Amino acid sequence: MMLILIAVLILQIIMLLISPLFKYQWPFSLYYKHVFMPLFQDNEKLRWKFYLVPLFYSSIYLGVVHLAIRSVIPQLSSGLHFVDYWFFIPFFIVLTPATGILAAIIGPETTKNYKRRSADEFKYDYLLFYPNIKCRTCQLPKPARSKHCNVCNQCILAVDHHCIWINNCVGLGNYLYFYSFLVLNSLAMSYAFIRSIFIVWLTPHIRYPKSILAFNLLTGCFALICIVFTYLQLSMVREGMTTNEKDKWFTVHEYMREKRLVRSSNGRWYYDLTEQLDLPPDQHEFFSTNPYDGRVYRLHNYTLIEDAEQINNIYDEGSFTDNLRTLCLT
């Protein structure tokens, strides 16, 4: 029976990988239309799919906790202390999933549902974000740092990303719970791994069961994954940007490196999309960094941006703690 389930799973993975390549050929066309597209491209169909990853995380977490309580803690009891039993172990077991649940059920603020002044919390920088723009889907004004989420079907304020692990958007209103969830996962897995390894190392004369090895492998791998992901998330906070803004800043800096980013005398930003940059200045064609503005501009008095120091990120308040406070406590 197990072999049949494994074979079916492998077949499904193969079909998911190759069906887009042969989507016009039968029988792959049927699989692509009725399985691949509803699963990966159509957010309105099979809405239950968005709960698969949170359920996967929950099963992994509960499995690790069950292994710890049933096998690991009794085996390592001689090396555990009062503070382990009455503080660290219950603290991590309870608070880690609790913050995840809060991050999942507490939605971020949106253009349809926000606290007073939240929509005006961030100014427009006229580089990444511009005023007087309506969302093409919501038909509501787009505040600075907002973005429409195709899964949640609404514009999220100060959006970071739609997190598949909690099936919720991360934005203004639930940053605190999301970052707490990341940090607690990293600390919980690191504590479990280091504490177990340390006790085993101090008792080389004891022959421990294989469950201890399995526990160490699981917690060690998950600790590494959680730490890396948490570091990547918090490093963007340090830089004063969100995941949503990261790609926008990358584009801006790419144009700067190609010597195509300019700033006009009135402080507006443009891309020089002239094919030959050695043409006379009056023959250059400029486009606004505003993606909603498709007009061609002719500029005569502008500054070529050649150094990142010439670009000011108004959303960076100068320190990690200030940026974190703005996102979490606004």
Q: Indicate left, alpha or beta for 117 from its phi (over 0: left) and psi (-120 to 50: alpha).
A: left
Angstrom distances, CA of residue 184 to CA of 49, 97, 101, 156, 222: 26, 9, 13, 25, 12
State phi, psi for 311 to the nearest 5 degrees.
-105, 120
Q: Are 105 and 186 in contact (CB under 8 A)?
A: no
Burial of 150 (0-12, 13-18, 19+ CB in 10 A): exposed
What one-letter code names the amino acid at 224?
A: L
The token duo for 213 is 């090895």
Instruction: Give the whole-angstrom CA distance, residue 317 versus residue 239.
Output: 9
Helix extents (H) in the chain: 2-18, 28-31, 37-40, 52-67, 73-75, 82-83, 89-105, 175-202, 210-238, 243-257, 320-329
Instruction: Give the whole-angstrom CA distance, residue 325 versus residue 175.
Output: 10
Got the DSSP string for 88-104? Answer: IHHHHHHHHHHHHHHHH
Q: Which residue has the tokens 């993606």?
A: 291
Burial of 102 (0-12, 13-18, 19+ CB in 10 A): middle
Please tell me which residue in 163, 169, 226, 328 is annotated as part of the active site.
163
152 is catalytic: no
Q: Are 236 and 242 in contact (CB under 8 A)?
A: yes
- Residues annotated catalytic, as ranges: 163
